């Protein structure tokens, strides 16, 4: 009983002290009335909890201190995690960038992709909603799809006319012109992108060429990373 009376008296004393200081020096404390009330409530709550813990562990003070320290550490970790949640997310994205080459790490209108161990930029794209892996090829004037990729993207391969002359590693051949409704890389999306479709067996992997890259605000290779920025 005496402990409860002491706690109540302590609460009133601290609350009165805070109110007096805040109202006397408002410019110094910078507290509005609502902030002041919130502060008094929180301090009172902490005192009540502290008093309860002290009563429970009055014969085991060492355990009480350890428990208090544990909860303080947990609270600090939670607060720090919340305060730096965006930095932690960015750190996670950077880790995935290095661990999974080809995966586009997006930050707003910018994406970044790491080079593979083979020395190429193999980029995970979505073509008309279908997942298509492409090789970045700045020497290609157009996006070029393999026949399988074109089929996956829903392009009408049966109606194609292979009428465009192109140079490949295997020599001169012909490809079919087409228009891709939508190409997405991370947060970058381009629509109505001119493309070429290779004849069966003429191309092993699809190429991400200049008909896509030229639409970007900018793109550049920084060491083992390629950075693309879309128009805002």
For residue range 155-193, list pLDDT tens digits in order: 998 888 999 988 766 678 899 999 999 999 988 999 999
Lowest mean pLDDT among 10-24, 28-42, 81-95, 130-144: 81-95
- Express as a percent the part of the chain with pLDDT over 90: 31
| Digit-coded pLDDT (tens) for 89-126 | 555 555 555 555 556 677 778 888 888 877 888 898 99
User: Is pLDDT of 33 > 60?
Assistant: no
User: Is pLDDT of 27 > 70?
Assistant: no
- Quick one: pLDDT band at residue 142, thresholds 50, 70, 90? very high
To the nearest whole number, what is the mean pLDDT of the chain?
Answer: 75
| Digit-coded pLDDT (tens) for 57-90 | 665 656 656 666 676 676 656 655 544 444 445 5
3 or 43, which is more confident: 43
User: Is pLDDT of 200 > 60?
Assistant: yes
Q: What is the pLDDT of residue 3?
A: 47
Q: What is the pLDDT of residue 114?
A: 83
User: Is pLDDT of 153 > 50?
Assistant: yes
Cα–Cα dist 205/122, whole Å: 10
Cα-Cα-Cα-Cα dihedral sign, residues 167, 168, 174, 179: negative
Closest by CA position to 208, among listed 117, 105, 104, 97: 104
Residue 51: partners with Cβ closer than 8 Å, 6 or more residues away: 3, 7
Q: Can you spell out the DSSP letters for 146-171?
A: -HHHHHHTT--GGG----EEEEETTE
pTM over 0.85: no
Q: Position of tokens 């228009």? A: 179
User: Is pLDDT of 11 > 90?
Assistant: no
Cα–Cα dist 51/43, whole Å: 12
98-229: CATH number: 2.40.70.10
User: Range(s) for CATH 2.40.70.10 in the chain?
Assistant: 98-229
In terms of DSSP bridges, do strands 105-107 and 110-114 run parallel, antiparallel, or are they unpaired? antiparallel
């Amino acid at each position: 009983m005496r402990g409860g009376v002491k706690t109540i008296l302590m609460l009133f004393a601290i609350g009165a002290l805070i109110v007096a200081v805040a109202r006397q020096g408002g410019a110094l404390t910078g507290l509005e009335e609502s902030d002041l009330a919130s502060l008094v409530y929180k301090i009172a709550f902490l005192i009540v909890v502290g008093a309860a813990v002290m009563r429970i562990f009055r014969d085991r003070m060492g355990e009480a201190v350890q428990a208090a320290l544990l909860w303080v550490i947990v609270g600090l970790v939670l607060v720090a995690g919340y305060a730096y949640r965006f930095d932690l997310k960015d750190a996670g994205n950077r880790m995935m960038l290095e661990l999974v080459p080809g995966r586009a790490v997006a930050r707003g209108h910018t994406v970044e992709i790491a080079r593979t161990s083979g020395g190429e930029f193999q980029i995970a794209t979505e073509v008309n909603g279908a997942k298509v892996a492409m090789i970045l090829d700045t020497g290609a004037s157009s996006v070029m799809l393999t026949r399988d990729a074109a089929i996956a993207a829903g392009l009408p391969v049966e109606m194609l006319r292979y009428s465009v002359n192109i140079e490949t590693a295997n020599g001169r051949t012909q490809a079919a012109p087409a228009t891709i409704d939508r190409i997405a890389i991370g947060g970058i999306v381009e629509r109505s992108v001119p493309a070429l479709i290779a004849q069966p067996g003429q191309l092993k992997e699809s190429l991400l060429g200049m008909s896509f890259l030229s639409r970007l605000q900018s793109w550049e290779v920084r060491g083992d990373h390629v950075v693309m920025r879309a128009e805002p």
